[in-house]
Chains A and B, each alone.
Chain A
């Protein structure tokens, strides 16, 4: 088990609603990345946060946004939920911005109905 914790573990939302997912990084890790994993697919990079700033973004629209707090924990916010947003959302932390080893949390399973 890694020290990365995510909440909640499961969530059901209605199309058009907004959702906030939370992540606590592993102790000593200051960089957090978010990934979306659709059923039967590999994780896809959403964005990364370092020193409370977004540092790199994948091919996701602006309705996906995030925050990082001084204690390095992070939030992922998704506005105007669509059915295709249903997925496992994974948070990964690395020891530093140029650290390669990424440790994942157990994920939040989001279902949009």
Chain B
């Protein structure tokens, strides 16, 4: 059962444009929502994260929007650059078991063309 659904699977954006990746979850116990960036041959790198008590978080060119009632969250990359070309994963964590076990989406491959 896929608990975190991510779309689109791939995305092509022109340099300077806005990249938008969406995720939806089912488990209402999730209380931590990070985004990871992964380059080929590397491990995922934590990009930005949000908790459900806020609707938006911005760090530089990266913004998370969170809609608790719709159980959806999204990543916006402003002024996209070729160096942003990577695979992006949303994830959700539930602290109910006393520790965070992250459930990941299937990833979005972003290509930013000059």
Contacts and interface: CB of A to CB of B under 8 A. Distances in A.
Interface of A: 2, 4, 6, 31, 33, 35, 40-45, 48, 50, 55-56, 58, 90, 92, 94, 97-107
A43 B104 contact: yes
Contacts of B103: 45
Contacts of A41: 106-107
A106 B43 contact: yes
B18 interface: no
Contact of B95 (A35, A42, A100): A100
22 contacts: A31-B99, A33-B102, A35-B102, A42-B4, A42-B91, A42-B105, A43-B102, A44-B104, A48-B101, A55-B98, A56-B98, A56-B101, A90-B44, A94-B100, A97-B99, A98-B95, A98-B99, A100-B100, A102-B46, A102-B100, A102-B102, A104-B45
Given A42-B107, A97-B98, 13 more contacts: A40-B106, A42-B91, A42-B105, A45-B102, A90-B43, A94-B100, A100-B95, A100-B100, A101-B49, A102-B46, A104-B44, A104-B46, A107-B42
A4 B45 CA distance: 11
A104 B42 CA distance: 9
Contacts, number: 75
Given A42-B104, A42-B106, A100-B93, A107 B43 contact: yes
Contacts of B49: 100-101
A56 B97 contact: yes
Interface string B85-114: 000010101010111111111110000000
B100 to A, nearest CB: 5
B38 to A, nearest CB: 9
Contacts of A6: 43
Contacts of A44: 104
B100 A98 contact: yes
A84 B53 CA distance: 40
A25 B44 CA distance: 15
A42 B106 CA distance: 5
